[in-house]
Every structure is written in C-alpha cells, then in structure tokens.
Amino acid sequence: MSTARKAASLSLDASLLSEARELKLDVSRAAEEGLARAVKAEKERLWRIENAEAIKAANDYVEKHGLPLAKYRQF
C-alpha cells in the first residue's frame, strides 16, 4: 500500500542540509520521519492533558484501595 505524497517547501538550516547531503541521507525521508515523531509526541501530550482527570482518579483509587485483583498476581 503506497502513501500519497505531497510536495512541500521547507526552510532548513543550510549547514545541516549540507551535512546531510554529504552523508548521502535522504533528506525528504528524514524530514518525514522527524515530522512523524513530532506529530506522535504532540498527540500523546494532548491525550495526557485530555485524560489527566481520569488518570488521576484511577491513580487515587489504586492508592486508596490497592490494585484490583492484586491477590491473584504471581509476581
């Protein structure tokens, strides 16, 4: 399955771009991978913010009552 591609104009640090080219790196692929990591990190950050109340409630429950089914743990 191929992913649709779209051309984009980017401004990059000239020395970094030069070094990448000297190392024969695929600049487009590296930029795409870096952007994918940044998007993933931001989605995770937003998810933590959006779910902070539920996470706190779950942690408070465990702190007060212990882990559910803890008596069945074998470790």
Amino acid at site 69: L
Would the pLDDT of 70 be above 70?
Answer: yes
Whether residue 20 contacts residue 30, with contact meaning beta carbons closer than 8 Å, is answered with yes
Mean pLDDT of 44-63: 97
The one-character DSSP state at 71 is G
Mean pLDDT of 16-40: 97
Question: What is the structure's pLDDT at 66?
Answer: 92
Would the pLDDT of 5 be above 80?
Answer: yes
CA dihedral 11, 12, 15, 17 (to 10 degrees): -110
